[in-house]
Amino acid sequence: AMFTGTGSMGWYAVKGADSTLWWWGKDGGMGFSLDGSGASTIQNRPKQVPIPDNKKVVQVIAGGMAVVLCSDGTVYTGAGGCDDYQVPKGYPCTGSNNMVLNQVPGLANVTSIAGGHQIVYAVCGTDSVMAWGRRNLLGIGSNDLNPQTTPMKLELGLPAPVRMIVTNTSSTHAILVDSTLWGWGHSAQGEVGNGTM
């Protein structure tokens, strides 16, 4: 049903038949297999990732970490270490708890997620957009450069609710329920699309 990942940390797939999550690739001890072992391994075939309470997965995104959206609107993150600046999990990440999926607190009714490296967004129905991560390059709409370690509600000032978001960590675009496209962030190569760099 869905496939994502990068060559440096492996690949994730959501199996359409039963909404389970699978991983394969090279895990250099950063927890990308999400099995809790932290082993440096090469997984040549898909291996099922344990999901808390056997929840059904509807979306997975990955970059420096894995972010998983379940059918009940909850979000889990894991893998990639506990560096709040590079791979902020949205929860207090200490020791080796990044080796398995942990629920991100403060989120409800999440319908889609975006990001997966230094920024994560959660669209919460038509009510709000929550975000956490590294704020450099204005990626989450703030000129405060300190990492946002837990989800915060964004005050975007848009004319309609957000339907979905995509981001490349330095700029972000949102499609609203009225089908208009809005962008913000760093525009060194014109990414925001407003004619300025």
pLDDT at 139: 67
Average of per-residue pLDDT across 87-106: 92
Helix, strand, coil percentages for the chain (3-state, nearest 5): 5, 45, 50
pLDDT at 142: 67
Which of 32-46, 66-80, 95-109, 133-147 has the weakest average pLDDT? 133-147
Higher pLDDT among residues 134 and 154, named by residue: 154
Local confidence band at 143 (pLDDT 50, 70, 90 cut-offs): low
pLDDT at 136: 67
Average of per-residue pLDDT across 78-86: 86
Local confidence band at 50 (pLDDT 50, 70, 90 cut-offs): very high
Residue 108 has pLDDT above 70, yes or no: yes
Percentage of residues in the chain having pLDDT higher than 70: 96
Residue 74 has pLDDT above 80, yes or no: yes
Report phi then psi at 174, rounded to 5.
-125, 135
Percentage of residues in the chain having pLDDT higher than 90: 60
What is the model's pTM? 0.93
If you average pLDDT over every residue of the chain, what do you get?
Answer: 90
Average of per-residue pLDDT across 8-15: 90
Which pair of structure tokens corresponds to residue 27? 């895990």
- Rounded Cα distance between 189 and 88, Å, is 26
Higher pLDDT among residues 38 and 48, named by residue: 48
Q: Do the Cβ atoms of 119 and 134 come closer than 8 Å?
A: yes
pLDDT at 185: 85
- Rounded Cα distance between 9 and 195, Å, is 35
Local confidence band at 147 (pLDDT 50, 70, 90 cut-offs): confident
Average of per-residue pLDDT across 67-83: 95
